[in-house]
Amino acid sequence: MVVSEAPPRAASGPGRRVGAVLFRHPALRLALMLLPAVLWLGGLYIGSLGILLTYSLYRLQEFTGLVVRDVGLSTYALLWQPANREIVVRTVAMAASVTVACAVLAFPVAYYMARYATLRMRTLLYLVVIMPLWSSYLVRSIAWRAILAGEGLLPWVLDRLGLDGLLRLALQAPLVGGPSLVQSKLSLFIVFTYLWLPFMILPVHAALERVPGSLLEASADMGARPRTTFRRVVLPLAKPGVVAGSIFTFSLTLGDFILPQIFGTSEFFLGQMVYTQVGVAGNLPLGAAFTFVAMAIMLVYLGAARRAGAFEAL
């Protein structure tokens, strides 16, 4: 009888030995996989936040312009100065109005995409919504400058339509007005809304797409007119999506420091203030303190969003 040969054993090189060890220790495998991300987030991100926090507790010696390394809350006390308080209020108001505008503009588009558009149309719209995100935000902002500038497209169109009076009226209005359209909060608001709109459309669309058509039929079946169906069924079910989108629009506006330099009045916004204090004025403690203001606002916002069910929609 012929004894059949044993199948060739796997060659045992160092690579194989490592593989075998990893195979036997799933916890080690997991640790190795997560290590780079943990180092990146934990080390760099949390670490730098720690440094920032430390700096916010230091203060600036006004005469020498040097950072005094005494731990205290004196820098935070500076935030309470009227000028600084105004910056926070102004920024939050801008973020809130941009968020509301995005929600109002995004909803019909998302609703159309989710409920009426054919597959082709939906793909096309997806592309149209996402495509701007592929190009530089700076380029698009500058392009808007060309549209909104005194000799730009929008004033020209308004002029042709005989609506230039409307524009002048808007620029004279308190809060939103300014010497010209580019130098007004109105233009800042317009461009912010344009920039962040895709971040609202996509989550709202995702939420609406998960609402089965039979729910709308059931509502009508039980006697609800379209308006009631919208208010009682569509809106509550879309809410998590709107709130999820608002996290983007709100936080992106809150932290932006470039757009207020291109558009708007000379009044400062939060992100711009951080940028100026750290980069120009060399007041690292105040810049760090402003950063924590923005973070605190966002934490409060996220807490509210979580209660509204936004994280179930993501």
Partner 1 sequence: MAEAATAIRRGRPNEAASEAVRFVGVTKRFGDVVAVDGVDLEIRAGEFFSMLGPSGSGKTTCLRMIAGFERPTQGRILLGGRDVSGLPPFERDVNTVFQDYALFPHMTVADNVGYGLMVRKIPKAIRRDRVAEALDIVRLRGFEDRRPAQLSGGQRQRVALARALVLRPSVLLLDEPLGALDLKLRQAMQVELKEIQQRVGLTFVYVTHDQEEALAMSDRLAVFNHGRVEQVGAPAEVYERPATGFVAGFVGVSNVLEGEAARAVTGSPRAVTIRPEKIHLELDLDAPVDPAHHHATGTVTKVVYLGAVTRYTVALEAGGELVVMQQNLRTSSMEALQVRGRRVRLVWDRQHSRPVEPGDDPGTVGSDDPGKGGR
- 221 part of the interface to partner 1, by CB under 8 A: yes
Instruction: Considering only the stretches 90-98, 233-241, 244-252, 270-278, report the one whose residues sit in contact with partner 1 under the rule CB under 8 A.
Output: 233-241
Compute the least distance from the CB of residue 236 to partner 1, in Å: 5
CA atoms lying within 13 Å on the CB side of residue 68 = 13
Decide: is 236 part of the binding site for partner 1 (CB under 8 A).
Answer: yes
Based on CB atoms, which residue is closest to partner 1, 152 or 309?
309
Segment near partner 1 (CB under 8 A); pick from 148-156, 182-190, 232-240, 261-269: 232-240
Instruction: Tell me how far apart the alpha carbons of residues 198 and 84 are, in angstroms, rounded to a whole number.
Output: 31
Report the DSSP pairing between strands 59-61 and 66-68: antiparallel
Least separation in angstroms between CB 216 and partner 1? 9
**Count of Cβ atoms closer than 10 Å to residue 278 Cβ:** 19
User: Which of 151, 221 has the CB closer to partner 1?
Assistant: 221
The DSSP annotation for 6-33 comes to: PPPPPP--HHHHHHHHHHH-HHHHHHHH
Query: How many residues are present in the chain?
Result: 314
Q: Please list every residue from 5 through 44 that binds partner 1, using CB under 8 A.
A: none
Phi/psi region, residue 77 (left: phi>0; alpha: psi -120 to 50; beta: rest), is: alpha
Q: Do 196 and 252 form a contact (C-beta atoms < 8 A)? A: yes
Among 57, 79, 149, 220, binds partner 1 (CB under 8 A): 220
Residue 209: is it exposed, middle or buried by C-beta count within 10 angstroms (0-12/13-18/19+)? middle
By beta-carbon proximity to partner 1, the closer residue of 157 and 218 is 218
Contact status: 237 vs partner 1 (CB under 8 A):
yes
Q: How far is the CB of 213 from partner 1 (least distance, A)?
A: 9
Nearest residue (CB) to partner 1, 48 versus 228: 228
Closest separation in Å from C-beta 226 to partner 1: 8
Q: How many CB atoms lie within 10 A of CB 41?
A: 12
Q: What does the alpha-carbon distance between residue 245 and residue 103 come to, in Å, rounded to a whole number?
A: 8
Bridge partners of residue 67, in order along the sequence: 60
Q: How far apart are the first and last CA of the chain?
A: 67
Residues between 160 and 219 that touch partner 1 (CB under 8 A): 212, 214-215, 217-219
Task: Tell me the closest approach of the beta carbon of residue 211 to partner 1, in angstroms.
Answer: 9
Q: Does 119 bind partner 1 (CB under 8 A)?
A: no
Least Å distance, CB 242 to partner 1, is: 14
Q: Specify the residue, 14 or 223, whose C-beta has the smaller distance to partner 1.
A: 223
Neighbours of 3 (CB within 10 A): 5
Binding site for partner 1 (CB under 8 A): 212, 214-215, 217-225, 228, 232-233, 236-237
